[in-house]
Amino acid sequence: MSWVMLPIPYCSPVRAFAPFAGQEGAVLLESALSAGGRGRWSYLCVAPDRLEVDPDDPFATLADLRQQMHSWGTPVADPAAPPFQGGVVGWLSYEAGRHLERLPIPRPDEVDTPEAAFGLYDVVAAFDTVQRRAWVCAAPSARAKAQALAATVRTAADTPLPLLSPLATTLSADQSRAEAEQAIGQAIAAIWAGEIFQANVTQRFSGQMPDCLPVWDLYRRLRLASPAPFAAMASFGGAHLLSASPERFVAVSADGQVEARPIKGTRPRGTTPEDDQAQAAALQASVKDRAENLMIVDLLRNDLSRVCRVGSVRVPVLCGLESFPSVHHLVSVVTGQLTEQHDALSLLRASFPGGSITGAPKIHAMELLRDLEPCRRGLYCGSLLWWGADGAFDSSILIRSLVVGRSGRIAAQAGGGIVSDSDPAAEWQEAMIKIAPLLRAVSNDPPLSDREETA
């Protein structure tokens, strides 16, 4: 039996996902903004064939899921076909790194989210947002399930999204500005003492989710406030991830080509075209920001070299400028070719958590961050990933994300890379620029736009 590919009428992935939003195991991987060659494909993943929430060892669980999805056979191999046609989708929290390295005991989980959660999806709906085509894809044994999903998506396509709820809430800083700047100052002191080269120090804002505010509405607000190439809503174990991440962690093609795209270096968008150009130029000319980016590129080159062919690791783009609705970023590209003995799971084990949100050297920076940050990171700075039955893989770094835990608590975090010449006040201000769209999404009620209905 061959892999199932059912063409369906194209519609907004947001509309298609509406009937499933918030259900256990329901995931929308949405390219809500095209940037740097990314942002073409969106995926709707619901009703997993298998669900794993809070496994004892998430990486061992991924190895087990790999065997099951490989038994389905090979997806359609066509350049025009969706890169992901079924397989594993799930998240890893930042603290899941403790399964790979000896790290300090994590702080208590006040937000209450699963450390790791994965669904095995034998059916997905895929949306080509460039060519405006869509399919329901399925493993050979799931044809009836695929037809049922196609029927539901067709109905959803003809159903307008309801108006957003007028309810809102407020998130408050868990640290004062003085406390946050003190932590940054301690990181700078550790750098000057020769303990580390860089550390990504973050601050958290949190609050309580109003009972009558749908989580789905919160995601819709976030995508309006901050569209991103790695936007997503995922629900596992009674917790919800609402992400507007701009950053790819690592990706692997079906033939083993690897790409990482670390972000380091940020400036706000300008208030006028001239101001905007000046902000971008200042970022590109910043010795401090370029040095910060280069340190993480070197870290990732080392991580990739552990599983890639000797001599294959390259840096085709160093400190390229990418612009998003609220910020400019410096983004580098690191590539490689996996050896025949390694696959996406090998790469994940070699590189998780991402160097851009830890520091260098990675393990000692993480030990330092455990003492400097007053709360658990949880899903923030972890990763959301998909892993296809053909071996292809993609993942994001979970920055610019809201998390709604099983406790009903909402959390949002932001930070930045600290180096020897960092200024605590400027670093605090950069974090506030990054977190501003998240706070707007929670507290404001943006009007419905054409972007949400038609993207």
Q: Is residue 321 part of a domain?
A: no
Q: What pLDDT does residue 38 have?
A: 63
Angle between helices 362-372 and 177-192 (to 10 degrees): 150
Model pLDDT for residues 395-411, shown as the tens digit of each residue: 999 999 999 999 899 99
Residue 11 tokens, joined? 């519609």
Asked whether residue 314 is domain-assigned, the answer is: no
Q: Does 326 reside within a domain?
A: no
pLDDT-derived band at 450, boundaries 50, 70, 90: very low
Domain assignment of residue 69, yes or no: yes
As a whole number, mean pLDDT of residues 295-305 equals 96
271 falls within a domain: no
Residue 141 burial by Cβ neighbours in a 10 Å radius (0-12, 13-18, 19+): middle
What pLDDT was estimated at residue 379?
98
Residue 332 lies in a domain: no
Q: What is the pLDDT of residues 181-203, one digit of tens each?
A: 999 999 999 999 999 999 999 99
- Could you tell me the end-to-end alpha-carbon distance of the chain, in angstroms, rounded to an integer? 34
For 148, phi then psi, to 5°, come to -65, -40
Report CA torsion sign: 12, 16, 21, 24: negative
38 φ, ψ (degrees, to nearest 5): -110, 160
Q: Which tens digits make up the pLDDT trace of 145-160?
A: 999 999 999 999 888 8
In terms of Cα–Cα distance, which of 229, 241, 43, 68 is closest to 139? 68
Write out the two tokens for 389. 């039955």
Express each pLDDT in 12-36 by its tens digit: 999 999 999 999 999 999 997 655 5
Domain that holds residue 368: 4-256+338-442
Domain CATH for 392: 3.60.120.10
87 strand-pairing partners: 121, 388
Note whether residue 422 is domain-resident.
Answer: yes
Whether residue 247 is contained in a domain is answered as: yes
Average pLDDT over residues 421-434: 95
Give the integer Cα–Cα distance in Å for 399 and 414. Answer: 7
CA dihedral 387, 152, 402, 132 (to 10 degrees): 70
CA–CA dist 133, 189 (Å, integer): 54
What total number of domains does the chain contain? Answer: 1
Task: Identify the pLDDT of residue 36.
Answer: 53
Where helices occur in 55-135 by DSSP H, the ranges are 58-70
With cut-offs at 50, 70 and 90, classify the pLDDT of residue 388: very high
Residues 9, 134: contact at Cβ < 8 Å?
yes
Q: At 163, is the pLDDT very low, low, confident or very high (cuts 50, 70, 90)?
A: confident
Hey, which residues does 135 pair with through a beta bridge? 7, 126
Active site residues: 247, 264
Output phi, psi for 72, to 5 deg: -75, -20
